[in-house]
């Protein structure tokens, strides 16, 4: 299935170390720079997100967020307020290959990169670690299938 983003904001919550605002051009337009590559681009806060951009507070648990990340508390969703003009690396970023959700659609785990499992349900940690130790295959497809089976056997929904 096609990748979709759950708008948790996690990935952008550390991007303050990568991106910075070089100059404000008007109330909602900014020159924005990637400090690693030196690329600079103009970004604009999208019309429907302007109020959120101006009024919402950055949550304390976001240590170093991108200056354009905002949390809508009512919806519990994070928004990139410059979504339409965001940099290419933001457009290309996908945080999972395999997504594991519970009955309510909450994220339980993600397989990121080739074989990195980011487990968010600590109740499964022990079982996962035992299982992971026994997963001894050089074949990535077999590894994926075994991981998918592990979660499906526990009644969880797996999206690939
Ligand atoms: S890309 Fe992933 S980490 Fe980033 S906001 Fe979406 S779901 Fe969260
Ligand atoms: S520009 Fe948008 S997508 Fe990119 S790091 Fe900032 S908030 Fe995230």
pLDDT in tens, 47-93: 999 999 999 978 888 989 999 999 999 999 999 999 999 999 999 99
Confidence check: pLDDT of 1 > 80: no
Q: Over the stretch 97-151, which tens digit does the pLDDT of each residue have?
A: 999 999 999 999 999 999 999 999 999 999 999 999 999 999 999 999 999 999 9
Q: Which residues line ligand 1 (CB under 6 A)?
A: 5-11, 78, 93, 95
58, 69, 81, best to mutate for ligand 2 pocket (most atoms within 8 Å of CB): 69
Confidence check: pLDDT of 160 > 80: yes
Burial 132-146 (b: 16+ CB within 10 A, else e): eeeeeeeeeeebbee
For residue 156, the CA-to-ligand 2 centroid distance in Å is: 30
The domain locations on the chain are 11-92, 98-159
Closest ligand 1 atom number to CA of residue 6: 7
């Amino acid at each position: 299935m096609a990748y979709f983003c759950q708008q948790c904001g996690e990935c952008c919550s550390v991007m303050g170390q990568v991106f910075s605002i070089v100059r404000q051009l008007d109330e909602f337009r900014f020159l924005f720079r990637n400090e690693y590559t030196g690329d600079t681009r103009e970004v604009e806060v999208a019309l429907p997100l302007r109020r959120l951009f101006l009024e919402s507070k950055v949550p304390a648990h976001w240590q170093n967020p991108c200056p354009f990340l905002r949390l809508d508390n009512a919806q519990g969703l994070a928004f990139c307020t410059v979504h339409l003009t965001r940099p290419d690396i933001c457009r290309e970023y996908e945080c999972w290959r395999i997504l594991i959700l519970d009955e309510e659609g909450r994220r339980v785990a993600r397989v990121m990169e080739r074989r990195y499992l980011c487990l968010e349900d600590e109740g499964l940690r022990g079982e996962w670690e035992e299982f992971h130790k026994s997963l001894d295959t050089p074949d990535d497809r077999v590894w994926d299938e075994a991981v998918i089976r592990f979660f499906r056997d526990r009644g969880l929904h797996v999206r690939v």
